[in-house]
Structure 1
Amino acid sequence: MIAWEHTRQAVGARIRALRLARGLTQEALALASGVTRNVLIDVEHGRRGLLYERLVDIAEALDASAGDFFADH
């Protein structure tokens, strides 16, 4: 696996974990962050990356920092 693929999957898994820890559905996080639910699904499954701006939007909706998505790296 290429390093960026591993990072993309790890970030997606971290977004999912934080979302679940906050008790949010994918739909609720999508609405709060301005990212579509379909994009969020692909991100959580590591099939799609995001621009930094979208990572910040998701982080703010989760009351987290974008750096939290990389905490395990």
Structure 2
Amino acid sequence: MAAWSRTRQVVGGRIRAIRIEREMTQEALALSSGVTRNVLIDVEHGRRGLLFERLVDIADALDVPVGALFGQN
């Protein structure tokens, strides 16, 4: 598995875990971040990557630093 593919899996899993921890639906996160729900589903499952700007928007909507999406504290 390529490094970028592993990174997509990690980031997607972190987005999903944080979203669930915050008791947010995919729809709520999609609306808050400006990403469509279908894109968010693909991202959470590691099937799609995002531009850094979208990751910042998602991190803001989840109220976490961007590094948290990469598993950093």
TM range (shorter): over 0.9
Q: Is the aligned partner of 1:5 residue 2:12? A: no
- Structure 1: segments with no counterpart, 5+ residues: none
Residue in structure 1 matched with residue 43 of structure 2 by the alignment: 43
Unpaired runs of 5+ residues, structure 2, are: none
Match of 1:16 in 2: 16
Superposition RMSD on alpha carbons, in Å? 0.8
Per the alignment, in what secondary structure is the counterpart of residue 46 of structure 2? coil
The reply to whether residue 26 of structure 1 matches residue 36 of structure 2 is: no
Distance 2:32 2:10 in 1: 22
Q: Matched residue pairs, number?
A: 72
Tell whether 2:58 aligns with 1:67. Answer: no
- Deviation sequence 1:7-55 (CA, Å, 0-9, x none): 1011000000000000000000000000000000000000000000000
Identical pairs, percent: 72
TM-score of the aligned structures, taking structure 2 as reference length: 0.96
